[in-house]
Amino acid sequence: MTEFVIGKLFIQAATLGLASIFSKVICEGSGKLIGWTKERLDEKTEKQIEKAAIQYVQNYCNRHGILKVLGMREPVDLESVYTTVQFLDRRGLQSLESIESMEQAYRRSRRFEPKESRRQDGIKVANDKPFLMVLGGPGAGKSTFLRKMGLEALKGRLGKYEHECIPVFLELKGVTSNPLDIEQAIVHEFQVCGFPSSAACTAKLLEQGRLLVLLDGLDEVPSKNVNDVICQIQDFVDRYDNNRFIASCRVAAYRHNFRRFTDVAIADFDGTQIEQFINNWFNSTLDREVGTGQRCWEILQKPEHAAAKELAQTPLLLTLLCLVYDHSQNFPKNRSGLYRKALRILLEEWASEKRILQEEIYQGLSTELEEILLSDIAYHGFEADRLFFAQRELVDHIKTFLTSNLNAPKHLNGEGVLNAIAIQQGILVERAEEVFSFSHLTLQEYLTAQFIEDHHQVGRLVSAHLTDERWQEVFLLVAGLMRGGADELLLRMERKARKLINTPKLTALLAWAEQVTVGSAGVMPAPTKRSAAIFLALMCDRALHLSHSFDPEVARVLDLARTLARAGVPEFIYTMNNTPARASTLTRAFARAFTHTFARELEKLKVFNNIDFNVLIARLEAFRARKPDIRQSPEAHQDFNFRLSQIWLNALQLDSNLISLFDEELQSLEHYLYANWLIVRCRQAAVRLSPQIWQAIEDRMLKGEIAESIERNHQYDT
């Protein structure tokens, strides 16, 4: 298998390199090692060394050159999926100005990375630093990086590691002896492969600085041994400091213990790295032919998958996304199941693979109880619009939760639980000294939705947060979690949204949209037609988004008009709050975008019921000839734009007074359209929904005088 994974050229180069180093060490021993002379080894010994070198390379590749995580059916080659690692230096991690600035950055980008941090190429840093401590969260790729450095060192001159060293990979989670004997562990690695006089050769290799010692998983050392292990590693490094060392540890477990080591943290994957990983993952001949990787990346780029893409910032959860996509060639519309799987990986599967669940703290803390605890923390933080938590606050919250639960284990303490969750699972992450947040905003949103479903808080969710876009993802997740059906949620949302149409003019505008579209020949749903009409009346982006939720073809045509209009009008004029400029803005928008060409595109959609597009197009073409040239006065241009807009208003049978809305009316309409868009998204995210309930909601959407009928048909109070 090794030759398939790595290739014959690699095997040959690695074998020659290892054999050469061992031969030199034995020869330079002047007969003291095993009695051979300095000048030359006998043929039998040379063959023994060559055979042992081949075995060592094979052992390393078989044990550390493949990946198999998350229950994968088959392992994959590390080299085939490896994505370039970038580091943040420690100063960058500590350069946070305040909790407030951290929170602002986190909300803006849905990711945590200090803006002052410099990204550095991981392999370059490993070449530059003889003692390197690699820090990162669970599944960030620490172990993979160390294994990759070992492979590069084995390649010799063919590899990217610039130092002639023999790599020795030691997993610290297997440490049971105390004191830790690193030298004996290295001897064992050589001994099992058949190198002659392994103990004596190891001593000589260490003395000459010929080893790259890879110490993986300091955080996985049993807690009762960790202080002794740290001291023993320090002593070993001091004694053999002409060798090179790379160690790894989770950020939260590290307390700057290694004074001679340069501390770096693995940066979250950026877009380029995510794309590279996906294309590496889908690298089979068939996948390359059909473009599976590129299609997966393009789907992940869509706005509706923004939260899923957030999970892709770590290799572990990006692997989950690739496995999910490979199964169905898409990402599930019901993202609740996907996020629940991601949470369980951190809570259980990944922790189990790392064997950390043997810690005493986990003997009484079941996965279900821990998930309920985390959802309690997530919800109350999200409800208070807080993403960061003080350590003391979290400890008190955990203590209160445990004491208020009759069935919670009595031996648990708040400090121990927080320590286990943060250090070993990484769901809560220490961002600054004694300040924590959830590792991904997506996980906090999912746990918040879980709390709402568990505690029957749907009514409060709708009444308090329907038009707050910060809660958008929570709404979608709640819809996906309601296994008994999302009917109640959608009906509550509809009723709350309807109350936003609170003036005669807004009611009349919706009635107009219904009147000019009802019974038209287009096959798209009626709300699509009404949203298209509202867009034409107000150039309103929210209406465009709603149209897209129902029918992308309609949205394509409307987006063409928006693009044309904005090409000549400053962006800020289009805000829904800019009432004084609105009349002239709409006039210019009509003049620039609603041309005879656009009218032809609109006619094909069959949205309107009684517009004679032949007459409209003829009038637009005739009027275009009267357009003033650049030398004429601004008044002439303004008059032309006004008359052109009147042609459209007359064709649409739209009273210009209906689009002269006050600030409050514009804001209410904006919220109403957003709420209806969210209703459509929740319908798509729901696991179960009554066809009759949805048909009734769809029939009423964006209609005018129907408030009373909604009141009669609703079964639920807000």
Helix (H, G, I), strand (E, B) or coil at 265: strand
Domains and CATH numbers, the chain: 2-266 (3.40.50.300), 271-331 (no CATH), 356-455 (1.10.10), 518-664 (no CATH)
Helix (H, G, I), strand (E, B) or coil at 542: helix
The amino acid at residue 520 is S
Which strand (E) or helix (H) includes residue 338?
helix 335-344
Dihedral (Cα; 201, 206, 209, 211), 10-degree rounding: 80
Whole-number Å distance between alpha carbons of 388 and 430: 9
Query: What are φ and ψ of residue 89, in 5° steps?
Result: -75, 165
Q: How far is CA 660 from the centre of its chain?
A: 42
- Within the chain, which residues score under 70 in pLDDT? 1-14, 26-41, 70-72, 89-99, 101-102, 105, 110-117, 174-178, 349-364, 566-593, 705-718
**Inter-residue long-range contacts of 341-345, CB under 8 Å, 24+ positions, other chains counted:** 342/311, 342/317, 342/442, 342/443, 343/371, 343/427, 343/443, 343/446, 343/447, 345/70, 345/139, 345/316, 345/317, 345/320
CA–CA–CA angle 318, 321, 325 (5° rounding): 140
The amino acid at residue 190 is F
Radius of gyration of the chain (CA): 33
Whole-number Å distance between alpha carbons of 382 and 448: 7
The amino acid at residue 509 is L
Whole-number Å distance between alpha carbons of 54 and 427: 42
* The two structure tokens encoding residue 129: 């630093």
* The two structure tokens encoding residue 307: 């939260």
Whole-number Å distance between alpha carbons of 662 and 335: 38
Q: What does the pLDDT look like over 509-539, one tens digit per residue?
A: 999 999 999 999 999 999 999 999 999 888 8
pLDDT, residue 632, reads 81
**Inter-residue long-range contacts of 542-547, CB under 8 Å, 24+ positions, other chains counted:** 542/669, 542/670, 542/673, 542/674, 542/677, 543/673, 545/673, 545/677, 546/673, 546/676, 546/677, 546/680, 546/702
Q: DSSP letters along 402-453, please?
A: HHT-TTS-TT--HHHHHHIIIIII-SEEEEETTEEEES-HHHHHHHHHHHHH
pLDDT, residue 367, reads 81
Helix (H, G, I), strand (E, B) or coil at 313: coil
Helix (H, G, I), strand (E, B) or coil at 247: strand
Q: Is the dihedral of CA 18, 19, 23, 24 positive or negative?
A: negative
Which strand (E) or helix (H) includes residue 245?
strand 244-250
Do residues 669 and 582 make contact, with C-beta atoms less than 8 angstroms apart? no
Q: At what angle do helices 526-538 and 541-550 cross, to 10 degrees?
A: 160
pLDDT, residue 708, reads 42
- β-strands 166-171, 388-390: how paired? unpaired
Do residues 90 and 263 make contact, with C-beta atoms less than 8 angstroms apart? yes
Closest CA to 101 of 435, 428, 473: 435
pLDDT, residue 576, reads 38
Task: Report whether the peptide linkage leading into residue 138 is cis, meaning its omega lies within 30 degrees of zero.
Answer: no
Q: How far is CA 252 from the centre of its chain?
A: 20
pLDDT, residue 98, reads 63
* The two structure tokens encoding residue 105: 């950055």
- β-strands 262-266, 131-136: how paired? parallel
**Inter-residue long-range contacts of 292-299, CB under 8 Å, 24+ positions, other chains counted:** 292/326, 292/329, 295/329, 296/322, 296/325, 299/325, 299/330, 299/331
